Amino acid sequence: MIAGSDGAGTKQRSALWLARPARGPEPPPRQPSADRSMRAALFALLKATGIDPTGGAHLSHAGGHVAYLTAANSAGIDLEWVRVRDVLALAEFAFSPGESASLAVLPAEDRAAAFTELWVLKEAAAKLLGLDLFTALAHCHFKLRGAQIDATMPCGRDVTAAVWAPSPFLRIAWVALGDVPAPPCRDWDAVGGQVTPAFWPRIAATAGLLAGTSGATFASSQADEDFTLPDTLAQA
């Protein structure tokens, strides 16, 4: 696994990679074949650096962009484009009443981005905990209070989470079990072939990350009698 830096000289065995095609900032049409081609190219790059890209929890793709997390801890990621649509109707179906209400009070022009930020957090949590999406929608809840994420997870474990905006129309979420720092980020220009450290704007994070406390997390979690944590994570 490649070692990255957290900006303070501390070695980490994880990094969040984003492969970008040659496109403008607007959300592209859905093109599964482009996603597959970019995934294959990124995996070839990772293998060339000694990384074995396996594990569905650590992979996400959208609109020809591919995100991959090399992780030494239990974590999940998700990548989505911000698209203008009837997000309030979608939220009524997919989110909790509190999450839906938090979107309804926002200015109309801010709702699509906020919906996407909640969505990627839920999908990342689903991948982390090995849940199908509908179960994660029902049991994993997030509240964005400005730049702070409050999380209620059914696993009875501390969680750490963050959402970044690599472009105005793109969001990446990372959700991890335990008291861990956020991974360093890497941009790969698939056309120019250049890998560079990424300093994407961070939209929100759990309180410990906002405070700059290495790995500390104050996100809430709760045991859920209707939910069983997979053995591999329960022992992590």
Instruction: Dump pLDDT digits (tens) for 184-208.
Output: 999 988 777 788 899 999 999 998 8
Rounded mean pLDDT of 105-133?
94
**Which is more confidently placed, 144 or 215?**
144
Distance (Å, whole) CA 73 – CA 129: 13
| 5 pLDDT above the threshold of 50 | no
So where are the chain's domains? Answer: 4-234
Of 1-5, 29-33, 136-140, 200-204, the poorest mean pLDDT is in 1-5
Are the beta carbons of 117 and 204 closer than 8 angstroms? yes
Which residue type is seen at 8?
A: A
Distance (Å, whole) CA 115 – CA 105: 12
**Which is more confidently placed, 17 or 179?**
17
| 19 pLDDT above the threshold of 70 | yes
How sure is the predictor about 157, in pLDDT bands with cuts at 50, 70 and 90?
confident
Are the beta carbons of 151 and 124 closer than 8 angstroms? no
Tell me the pTM. Answer: 0.81
pLDDT given for residue 23 in this prediction: 58
Return the HEC string of 87-124.
HHHHHHHHCCHHHHHHHHCCCHHHHHHHHHHHHHHHHH
- Give the Å distances, CA to CA, from 34 to 23, 54, 65, 74, 80: 12, 20, 8, 28, 15
Those residues whose C-beta lies under 8 Å from the C-beta of residue 145, and which sit 6 or more positions away, are: none
Those residues whose C-beta lies under 8 Å from the C-beta of residue 157, and which sit 6 or more positions away, are: 177, 178, 221, 229
| Fold for the domain defined by 4-234 | Ribosomal Protein L22; Chain A (3.90.470)
Rounded mean pLDDT of 121-139?
92
| 24 pLDDT above the threshold of 90 | no
Of 18-22, 112-116, 171-175, the poorest mean pLDDT is in 18-22
